Structure 1
Amino acid sequence: MTRILKMAAAILTSLTLTTASLAQSTQIQAGEEGITRLQRVGIAPPAPAPDRQNGEGPFDRLVIRGAIMIDGTGSPPVGPVDIVVEGNRITRIATVGAPDLPIDPRVRPAPGDYEIDATGMYILPGFIDAHTHIGSPGQAAAGAPLDPQYVFNLWLAHGVTTVREVGSLWGLGWTMEHRDRAARGEITAPRIYAYAYFDGSISTPEQARSWVRDVARRGADGIKFRGAAPDVAQAAMEEAAARGLETAYHHDQRTVVRNNVLDSARWGLTSMEHWYGLPEAMFDGQVIQDYSLDYNYMNEQDRFGEAGRLWRQAAPRGSDEWNLLIEELVGLDFTLVPTMTIYEANRDVMRAREAEWHDIYTHPDLWAFLQPDPRMHGSYFFDWTTQHEIDWRENYRIWMSFLDDYKNAGGRIAVGSDSGFIYNLYGFGYIRELELLQEAGFHPLEVIQAATFNGAELLGAEDEIGTIEVGKRADFVIVAENPLRNLRVLYGTGHPRFNWETEENERVGGVVYTIRDGIIWDARELLAEVREMVEAARENED
């Protein structure tokens, strides 16, 4: 189908189903197995990911030799170390010498069935992306559903070994099927935590509790909220906590005046997504955001343009309101998942639109979805002005200061990317989020801690993943350059650097290997497959 026909179909579909309801409509209600409103309007989930064709292992005994280890706890690097993995578990971590000196082979662990020479490389725990979507129906409306393998490859190629799929936009059953296949090592994919999307049609606390019991029975790992009456949301969160389900909430502007972050945290919410609801919890002298009088939430340039002035409406840094909010949220063991990367285009849309990886790795159907179009969620740069970007730069300055203060007070911040929207590409957006945390004031070791251990704690999986420790699952990122010195060496496109010896410009970095549950993937091979997918899709367009 040509691009024109695809876009015509998208317009017709969008007249029937808004993006907000697209997300909700993928959820299968109690007793409605396998039937979604999406299918009724002609948008079906993508084909399942194919069986695993690449990746080696797990092995009876894998030995990774000579690496410099950043263990994810916040401790400084240690190395060289040899790490022994048996099956999918770490069984030994041996310090085998001092930097830049020959290693005595007598102190090294015995040979393995398979070995990786990581001499001089850095090894980190597998990264956890705490806010993801494996594609979305909106993208399908712009072209075709993205192949999940395209998304999985980009994540793994950037060291992401675990994702929290908040909302399961293609349906809870579809997501759990991929979760289970990934856990069995049958597909090339990160570990997946499948969150159901709390349907806005639920109108009573009794319905909410019943719905939560149903998704718990079906095997969901958690629940994503986005707008509900306060008594309904509270009932659902209390029921989720009673059944051991984690919860995430995007406090959007339609409901935040009745239910801000502090309200939800008191009800037992596990984590907040993005940042909406934080400024509102610190309003001083007002109750409602200072909306312009012709504001319309469904005009996304209105929504995001005016959101760029929201942090300035909150009580200032260091005020009683600011400090008391941090103190109470920390006391509630509450997690922030800021996803700064997803909004960064708002402060510099040209930078986001012209990022060097788009030409090589962004699928044409995804690129079509990202272009300004009032029918597509996140595609709202209809007339984005200098003032919009100035507002958002100030917004980031205040937002980042809150994140830094929260972290310094002992609060947990995890790393999420929300990629696939607003010029933010899977994998690449995750690494950009790491850079933004450093900009916010985090030491690079704190950034890595947020990306690994904090994410594991958020998932309740800190005994299994998130750090490099004996007994934990064998999830690793191996990179040839020092990511603490420069996080940009984690990008799949690498980092441009002048070589003073050769007097040539060169590219350095990029993840070398990503290991999940003892399965080893060559990150460069995964990226090569993505390039082939993109090139084939462009040829089909022609």
Structure 2
Amino acid sequence: MGIRKFLAGMAMVVMASSASAQMLPVPDRQPGEAEGPFETLIVSGATMIEGSGAPPMGPVDIVIEGNRIAAIHGGGAPDAVKAGASRVLDARGMTVMPGFVDVHGHNGDPGKAAQPSYGYRLWLAHGVTSVRGVSFYFGPGQPDLTDAQRSAANTIVAPRLYPYAVFGDKWGRPAPTTQAGAREWVRWAKAQGFWGIKFFNSLMPDVFAAALDEAEKQGMGTVAHLAQPGVQRVNAKKAVELGLDGVTHFYGHFESLLSGNALVRYPEGYNYFDEQSRFGWVARLADQVVEPGSEEWDEYIDFLVESGVTLSPTFNIYSASRDVMAAKNRDWHARYSLPSLMDFYAPSATNHGSYYKDWSTEDEVAWRKFYRYWFDLTAEFHRRGGRVTAGSDPGYIYQTWGFAYIGELEMLREAGLSPLEVIRAATVSGAEEIYEPRGEEPPMGTIQVGKLADLVIVPGNPLDNLKLLYGTGHTKLNYESGEIEQVGGVRWTIKDGVVYDAPKLLESVAAMVEAQKGAQPSGE
């Protein structure tokens, strides 16, 4: 299948439910929606997790001047510094971390969330200050680049945005099918201002190789969803050999580890375009691969580590396959998931990822086994020195923006990363994945003097309980009062020195949800 046909198919399944709908422009940031940047801002009294993997330390006062961290004072800043501050955030009893980096973002599906500000606000409300869009929008003429520019200028309420383009998309011409055409498209994308390229693996190997080579020359990052229509030509091992920077999801790994067969064995009646068939079967791929810990398994992991490839597994995006009932009844759906989004998630013959049309216990058991293999591969890759990052792929399969990202952090923990390793994956590792192809040190990702003032501040200690990071908080019984309490939830997100009140952001999202509910015809 050619890339043009693949992209057309993706557009069909994603957009069919609302073919005439259009994405709305992101409104300008209004007075009162954020504060700053300040001449001097102090985050005072927090325990700091600085992002590199160092243990918590505190209390500290972090002094921010404009959009940069100017000083970090153990125990507290001098009185004269505090007295001269424009604003002091009292963060006693709280934890401050670098702003989170989501390396797998989308928002361009008008049938489910027509206002991009909905997702942007949910990201910020969960401490996500940087997002790599792969892509933010699909098709030519979309505002990937203008949204990124407006965010950089802090004129919209949004994380810092790093736009990637899907190979062959955006330019309004047929997708390249030759090496020369691939190089031309890469140079075009670079000239437009895109930071990197997302591949869907429906290219011939020579065209893929040419695009990867040109991307490296242009200082552009590359990441691939190695989809089944092309994985027989280019699996993950082959893609990395060709020069791919990052592998997202699980696609391509298991096809690199087949036991006794050169090709995947598909069941009778399999149809890739029927997503119940596609996703119901894919978990059974675990039955066709070599065992974890075998010589072939270990050799593959060593190869990945030595290559320098980055894995952004996005465990969360398929997690509903393990328990659909739980996924569709998450705490946040009633208040924070748009009705149109919940409609999109529901079983559908057309909406991408809405594949639970006849999902069975056997399907869920198969997926739980599949995750054990996937977790093992990722954790062992990480243990041997490979870089793992956090991406959420929100807007599909009951994964709502922001909440999905915290779900990914929990799943990285389930895979075997320690809590500190999870925070590192969510911060400096993601920043390095974005900036490394450009040959640049990332300006964010750790709390250090001189770095950008991108911070997330949360009551309590997320190393003890990552659930404190959910916008809905964590349910806890107060043994003294006997009352059931909701604790946690991000208190402030600071992006580029601009302070966002996270609960206020969530209230603005809840208002969007209520407005859409009120606009629905009676009886819906």
TM range (shorter): over 0.9
Letter in 2 for 1:282: L
Q: Does the CA contact (< 8 Å) of 2:107 and 2:113 recur in 1?
A: no
Instruction: Give the fraction of aligned pairs with identical amino acids, expressed as a percent.
Output: 45
Tell me the residue number matched to 1:118: 91
1:168 deviation in Å?
3.5
Alignment of 1:281-430 (within 5 A): 281-430=256-405
* 1:82 corresponds to 2:61: yes
Q: Does the CA contact (< 8 Å) of 1:453 and 1:462 recur in 2?
A: no
* 1:167 corresponds to 2:135: yes
1:109 deviation in Å?
5.5
Q: Does the CA contact (< 8 Å) of 2:474 and 2:488 recur in 1?
A: yes
Whole-angstrom CA distance in 1 between matches of 2:392 and 2:254: 21
Q: Secondary structure at the match of 1:538?
A: helix
Q: Does the CA contact (< 8 Å) of 1:82 and 1:108 recur in 2?
A: no
TM-score normalised over the length of structure 1: 0.89
Give runs of ≥4 in structure 1 deviating > 6 Å: none
Letter in 1 for 2:97: L
1:107 deviation in Å?
9.4
Tell me the residue number matched to 1:101: none
Q: Over residues 2-56 of structure 1, what are the superposed CA-to-partner deviations in whole Å (9 max), with x where a residue is unaligned?
A: xxxxxxxxxxxxxxx999526569xxxxxxxxxxxx99x9646412211112110
Alignment of 1:130-145 (within 5 A): 130-136=103-109, 140=110, 143=111, 145=113
Whole-angstrom CA distance in 1 between matches of 2:138 and 2:87: 38
1:145 deviation in Å?
4.8
Tell me the residue number matched to 1:151: 119
Whole-angstrom CA distance in 2 between matches of 1:421 and 1:42: 17
Tell me the residue number matched to 1:280: 255
Tell me the residue number matched to 2:226: 251
Whole-angstrom CA distance in 2 between matches of 1:160 and 1:152: 9
Q: Does the CA contact (< 8 Å) of 1:330 and 1:410 recur in 2?
A: yes
Q: Over residues 439-486 of structure 1, what are the superposed CA-to-partner deviations in whole Å (9 max), with x where a residue is unaligned?
A: 111110000000001101100164301110111000000001110000
Alpha carbons of structure 1 residues 462 and 481: separation in structure 2 relative to 1, 3 Å: farther
Q: Over residues 208-256 of structure 1, what are the superposed CA-to-partner deviations in whole Å (9 max), with x where a residue is unaligned?
A: 1111111111111100000222111111111101100001100011101
Q: Over residues 71-94 of structure 1, what are the superposed CA-to-partner deviations in whole Å (9 max), with x where a residue is unaligned?
A: 010111000000011110001011
1:262 deviation in Å?
1.3
Alpha carbons of structure 1 residues 145 and 428: separation in structure 2 relative to 1, 3 Å: closer
The 10-residue stretch of structure 1 (305-314 or 273-282) with the greater mean CA deviation from structure 2: 305-314
Letter in 2 for 1:149: S
The 10-residue stretch of structure 1 (200-209 or 407-416) with the greater mean CA deviation from structure 2: 200-209
* 1:474 corresponds to 2:453: yes
- The unaligned stretches of length 5 or more in structure 1 are 1-16, 26-37, 98-103
* 1:491 corresponds to 2:467: no
Tell me the residue number matched to 2:27: 50
Whole-angstrom CA distance in 1 between matches of 2:399 and 2:9: 20
* 1:219 corresponds to 2:219: no
Alpha carbons of structure 1 residues 411 and 107: separation in structure 2 relative to 1, 3 Å: farther
Letter in 1 for 2:144: T
Alpha carbons of structure 1 residues 151 and 222: separation in structure 2 relative to 1, 3 Å: same
Tell me the residue number matched to 1:14: none
1:170 deviation in Å?
3.9
Letter in 1 for 2:368: R
* 1:177 corresponds to 2:146: yes
Aligned-pair Cα RMSD in Å: 2.1
Whole-angstrom CA distance in 2 between matches of 1:145 and 1:256: 31
1:110 deviation in Å?
5.4
Q: Does the CA contact (< 8 Å) of 2:48 and 2:96 recur in 1?
A: yes
Tell me the residue number matched to 1:21: 8
Alpha carbons of structure 1 residues 198 and 23: separation in structure 2 relative to 1, 3 Å: farther
Letter in 1 for 2:26: A
Q: Does the CA contact (< 8 Å) of 2:53 and 2:421 recur in 1?
A: yes
Q: Does the CA contact (< 8 Å) of 2:50 and 2:446 recur in 1?
A: yes
Q: Does the CA contact (< 8 Å) of 1:337 and 1:413 recur in 2?
A: yes
Letter in 2 for 1:229: M
Tell me the residue number matched to 2:172: none
